[in-house]
Structure 1
Amino acid sequence: MTCSPLILAQPHLLHRPAAADPALAGVRTLDELYNAIAPISAQMAMLPAADQGRTRRERQFFQHDRYYGIQRVTQQGGTALAVGAIVTAWRLAPDGPPPLVAALIEIAGIEIGSRYPHPRAATEQDPLRRWIIGHQVFAVLMQGLIMRTAALINPPAHHDPAADLAGLTRLFRASGAALRYTGQVHPRYYRDDIRPSMPARFSGLMAADHHHLLQRLRVAHPILLRHADSHPAALVELRQAWASAYADHTEVCARLVGSGTPSLLGTEHGQPAVESLEHYRRSRLSTIPEPN
């Protein structure tokens, strides 16, 4: 791992965003923001860490986190997410797409003078570091989506469902951008260096945040059904954004491993990874209803 661990809370702790820290008011650049959260980051590192889990699935989550440099804490979900979003935005900024950096800053709930200023010059990125940072960014985006979905399920006072649907759409679009960024490595490097570095039978299905997001979306399905009547255009855009993220994932997979190669989780002669992604796309998109 070529950067310090990213501290995030266990996804079931994500219900409400953290209150804005007055100490962060007035920051003008992403570098200033990153430096300003240093004391909070230190506090997050001192929180109780999650263990390896008791069930097979929990141990798989732990294994996935360990490979991608994610350290889980068992308290302060909203604060850990806000800090993690700022940290990943700062790591991504030198060579990441500005709208993707902006999406991370939005998750943190911080206003800065410009959406994504960063005086640091972009340097040549180590492909494995890009791979790790890209997956850390994706984990933060999944947590942002979990938080947005929680607001639909248990709306706060003065709730605006249109704003939450639009926020979900922006974050799904950002997820596609994160997948494209992560996959910008040479297929030979992926085959010879990145893929062998992964544990046997490793898979994105072991990502705790993505798994929990799917659970939250299933809970939110009856609410989304109501919004299909009141906000049909927003539901169409949301479905399109999620479908587009799956298309981005499929494109990256096909470029790096080919259209006929099974996933790491599969057997040598198992279903090709791109076909598995298409199966997941069809089944999971049904969570978001199509307006009549």
Structure 2
Amino acid sequence: MTVHDAAYDRYFGLLRTPGQLLTAPVVAAVTGDLPHTGLTGDRRGALTEGMCLASRIVAAGHPRTPFGTEPVDGLPDPLRRWKLGHQVFHLLLTAMNSGLDDALAATRTAAWPSLLHGMEQLRLLYDAATAAMEYASDFPAAVYRDEVRPTMAPPHLPPGFSGAFNRDHRVMVRRMRGLERSVRALPPDVPPLVAVHRAAAALHSAQRCNRRQHVRICRRCVPDGASLLQLHLAQEDLACDTG
């Protein structure tokens, strides 16, 4: 784990103690908060279904997939929601990485029913991750600017804090690309694989929706488009130019 990874885990309260399995607290906290959000019924349903599915997957893989989070009670409501949303995103990513392991193994052994089932679950988890992003940022943009974003900057954290420090997401992206390559290499016209390619298309659609939603959230919360990491790097470049 890098220093940046550790800062990400510490800020969002992500625990990785070997043998640990504590999914219920964060699921209960988000479920209890959902009625107080502006999420649509479809988004709430997707997040609820995804949290339940992720909890089952993580439990089935335990202790290979340790999971735990620190409580965020007592924080101001927007900051509490921001951190809870990222905690449940961590749960979803933990389940996705476990599921991707199984899906990649299924492609190697030609276990097509298992691959199909795994890809359908990954789509549900992706839809839930999209809803989790919306949940985490469900407050006015001015609140993000004035109350939430400053908690990710010095003196609270080292300069240049970024979501790129989420190591679970980096692992997921690598494994997802590997699965995409493996599925593309499969013949498209073999009867048992028609459903697999159809599931792959549905999963890709969920990925595109996730990316579009992330862009919309970033544009709403940070209209100038400059992340904390970009600002930090720009300041470093300026210091080098003037030094």
Provide the rounded CA distance (Å) in 2 between the counterparts of 1:89 and 1:228: 40
Is 1:140 matched with 2:91? yes
Is 1:191 matched with 2:139? no
Matches within 5 A, 1:46-195: 53=1, 58-73=2-17, 75-76=18-19, 80=21, 83-84=22-23, 86-96=24-34, 97-109=44-56, 126-155=77-106, 160-195=114-149
Aligned residue number for residue 263 of structure 1: 227
Provide the rounded CA distance (Å) in 2 between the counterparts of 1:232 and 1:159: 12
Map Cα deviations across residues 216-247 of structure 1 (whole Å, 9 max, x no partner).
22333442224572222211111110110111
Provide the rounded CA distance (Å) in 1 between the counterparts of 2:100 and 2:129: 15
Between structures 1 and 2, the one with greater helix share: 2
By relative contact order (CA 8 Å, sep 6+), the higher-ranking structure is 2
Contact 2:49 2:128 (8 Å CA) reproduced: no
TM-score normalised to structure 2 length:
0.72
Provide the rounded CA distance (Å) in 1 between the counterparts of 2:230 and 2:103: 36
- Percentage of identical aligned residues: 26
Contact 2:104 2:179 (8 Å CA) reproduced: yes
SS at match of 1:266: helix
Contact 1:172 1:245 (8 Å CA) reproduced: yes
Q: Number of paired residues?
A: 193
Provide the rounded CA distance (Å) in 1 between the counterparts of 2:205 and 2:222: 26
Q: What amino acid is aligned across from residue 265 of structure 1 in structure 2? A: L
Q: What amino acid is aligned across from residue 28 of structure 2 in structure 1? A: W
Matches within 5 A, 1:210-225: 210-225=169-184
Provide the rounded CA distance (Å) in 2 between the counterparts of 1:66 and 1:140: 16
Unaligned runs of 5+ in 1: 1-52, 111-124, 271-292
Q: What amino acid is aligned across from residue 55 of structure 2 in structure 1? A: A
Unaligned runs of 5+ in 2: 35-43, 58-75, 235-243
- Flag as ranges the 4+ runs of structure 1 deviating above 4 A: 156-159
Residue range with higher mean Cα deviation, 141-150 or 213-222? 213-222
Contact 2:103 2:179 (8 Å CA) reproduced: yes
Residue range with higher mean Cα deviation, 86-95 or 177-186? 86-95
Measured after TM superposition, the shift of residue 87 of structure 1 is: 2.5
Aligned alpha-carbon RMSD (Å) = 2.3
Measured after TM superposition, the shift of residue 268 of structure 1 is: 7.1
Provide the rounded CA distance (Å) in 2 between the counterparts of 1:126 and 1:65: 20
Contact 2:46 2:128 (8 Å CA) reproduced: yes
Provide the rounded CA distance (Å) in 2 between the counterparts of 1:95 and 1:59: 32
Contact 1:180 1:252 (8 Å CA) reproduced: yes
Provide the rounded CA distance (Å) in 2 between the counterparts of 1:224 and 1:131: 35
Provide the rounded CA distance (Å) in 2 between the counterparts of 1:254 and 1:227: 38
Structure 2 counterpart of 1:243, from 208, 217, 220:
208
Q: What amino acid is aligned across from residue 16 of structure 2 in structure 1? A: R
Provide the rounded CA distance (Å) in 1 between the counterparts of 2:232 and 2:167: 26
Provide the rounded CA distance (Å) in 2 between the counterparts of 1:93 and 1:268: 36
TM-score normalised to structure 1 length:
0.61
Q: 1:59 to 1:158 in 2, by over 3 A?
A: same
Map Cα deviations across residues 32-85 of structure 1 (whole Å, 9 max, x no partner).
xxxxxxxxxxxxxxxxxxxxx4xxxx1111100100011222x33xx63xx32x
Aligned residue number for residue 45 of structure 1: none
